Amino acid sequence: MADTTLETTEIARRPRKIRWETIGDHFVLILGSLLMILPPLLALTTASHDAVTIHRQGIQVGLGDDLGKNFHAAMFEKGGFTQTVDGTLMLMNSFILGIGFAVGKIIISMMAAYAIVYFRLRFATLAFWVIFTTLLLPLEVRILPSYEAIQKLGLTNTYTGLIVPLIASATGTFFFRQFFMSVPEELAEAARIDGAGPWKFFVDILVPLSRTMIAAIFIIMFVFGWNQYLWPTLITTDESFFTLVRGIKQIVLTYTDSQIPEHGQALALAIVAMIPPVAIVIFFQNWFVKGLTESDK
Amino acid sequence: MAQVSLEGIRKVYPSGFKAVETTSFTIQDGEFVVLVGPSGCGKSTLLRMIAGLEDITEGTLKIGDRVVNNVDPADRDIAMVFQNYALYPHMTVRKNIGYGLKNRGTPASEIAAKVEDAAKMLNLTEYLDRKPAQLSGGQRQRVAMGRAVVRDPALFLFDEPLSNLDAKLRNQMRIEIKALQRRLGTTAVYVTHDQVEAMTMADRIIVLNAGRIEQIGTPSEIYHNPASTFVASFMGAPPMNLIEAQVDQGQVRINGYDGIMTTPTSANGPVTLGIRPEDIELDGQGSVPFQVDILEELGAHRLLHGQLGGQPFTVLVSKDHAAQTGETQITLKPDALRLFDVETGKVI
């Protein structure tokens, strides 16, 4: 009996104690969520008004009537200087850049890590650290020589020029190296005895084992590639290579003939530009969990 | 099936560490040879050289009639079972077993049939579509065996395959592996640090110490006639008693005890006297005094730890034998006495 009373009093006391903490926690969480959600939400509501209203009254909280119209215009109306690019083309370009960037980075860094970890290279450690120190040298540092090289190769205004100079990845190489070093050595030896050469071992065993690593790096690199602004601006002058991120600015910039910039369309395009990275994070997150719970190692 | 011969094989690592001193021996066709020794004795290096996973510094290695020093592991017609099994975690049991065949371009229908056969032999049929993570330790061990068996190689190589299993399963798998090897008649080299495994499984045991072969022989030879004090103390549990003694004109005298035993040896001077704990009789009529300090109950046997002439000594008696601590008399079976050189540890 004594035990029971003790328990009930404890249970009775506990909710009161937790409630304040819970309220505090929720307050912080809600505040944080609002901070994150409000800008895109306001972008969406503002995008539902016509350009004149936005130009006059600024950001709109309520929903207007022009949401469909603005989205349609942003996606399908030919715009820009040459009147040849529309939102769908830019969306496609962004996808090409994002996916090409992520896939390229994964392939290059996996192969680099494979070479460093599994082959008795001379100066392998040195090579790794040289790769690693390039983390300290982002694109912006080498942007002029990179531009010159691409320009001399005649790769300006090509997808190759857009993607290839960016795919060497110290981060990816580092992650894959750490992962490969955690794979038991006997696996490579067993594969050797099973008649799998270096290429087969890589494709049949290492790549499937790295699935979750690949997914993680794909997310990071896709978003990174999707949001590239400076490099595409430099390397592509042809409007048919414009990405969404650039396109948004292009719409706002059309300040010719005393025209009001199409703020509604720009915001609509901004929302379109936000969806794929978000979708990819959500999609791969499920994949992540699956990979972790069905862990083979 | 093949005979394996090592001629003057030596291994020096680039760091200068001599893992295996010049070694020569031949493994007969169909033989089950166990390499045994403490860790760092070079047994795994030796096995890995036979497998081709480790370069041979010097010497000639033949599998069958072919010199394979520079042959790739895949082309040596061998299969290896690793200590951690090294199963491919993302592949099903079926694919794990069939992977080696697939890489050799075997037709899919033939692979399927061979995998089924191997699985049946190892009681794995119902687990074929599972992944290694969904199997128990013993089942994983069997998959590793299956991967070796399915290719029907000339030579099996085992690198401590049972050390990750619990004691009961280990005993069971020991018998299974031995039975399988018997049935297939495939030559096998088995590395272990467990002398019980070596004794029970081997046709012939090779005892290694510090990169050198101490002795090659059948389990019975190794047990009863150890070539050195190292073999005597490493093989057998409890190990052979090794005590200091003196030989003088065919008579041996244990230090600290005045009794004399005859022994047919020409050597004179200090020796190490060895005798197995079970070759000692405990009886009141015995001539040698033995001070029992600790009694160890093993069920079927009793171990008596104590002192003989001030030197540590162990006696094994059957469970029916009454025993208690204190002073007692023992008899050392004369034909079970082994004498070793004090300096080199070699048998005299």
* Nearest-10 Cα torsion for B275, B276, B279, B285: 60
Average of per-residue pLDDT across B218-234: 94
Cα nearest neighbour of B87 on chain A? A187
The pLDDT value given to residue A295: 47
- Chain B neighbors of A120, CB-CB under 8 A: none
Q: Which of A184, A196, A208 lies closest to B90 in CB terms?
A: A208
Average of per-residue pLDDT across B99-115: 93
Spans in chain A with pLDDT lower than 70: 1-18, 79-82, 252-259, 287-297
Q: Does A290 touch chain B (CB under 8 A)?
A: no
A205 vs B88: CB contact, 8 Å cut-off? yes
The pLDDT value given to residue A123: 84
Lowest-confidence region among A80-94, A148-162, B188-202, B269-283: A80-94
Q: Does A204 touch chain B (CB under 8 A)?
A: yes
Q: For residue B285, what is the enclosing H or E element?
A: none
- Chain A neighbors of B79, CB-CB under 8 A: 193
Centroid of chain to Cα A189: 37
The pLDDT value given to residue B261: 73
Q: Does A19 touch chain B (CB under 8 A)?
A: no
pLDDT per residue as tens digits for the range B238-256: 899 999 988 887 788 887 7
How far apart, in Å, do the first and last CA atoms of chain A sit? 50
Q: Which of B74, B79, B133 lies closest to A296 in CB terms?
A: B133
- Chain A neighbors of B51, CB-CB under 8 A: 189, 193
A273 phi, psi to nearest 5 deg = -65, -25
- Per the CB < 8 A criterion, the answer to whether B9 and B30 are in contact is no
Q: Does A297 touch chain B (CB under 8 A)?
A: yes
In percent, the amount of chain B with pLDDT more than 90 equals 67
A193 vs B51: CB contact, 8 Å cut-off? yes
B30 vs A65: which has the higher pLDDT: B30
Q: Does A186 touch chain B (CB under 8 A)?
A: yes
Best of A194, A207, A290 to mutate (most B CBs within 10 Å, chain B): A194
Distance from CA of A255 to the nearest CA of B (A): 57
- Chain B neighbors of A200, CB-CB under 8 A: 103
What lies within 8 Å, CB to CB, of B27 at 6+ separation is: B3, B4, B5, B33, B187, B189, B204
Query: What predicted TM-score, i.e. pTM, was given to this entire model?
Result: 0.80
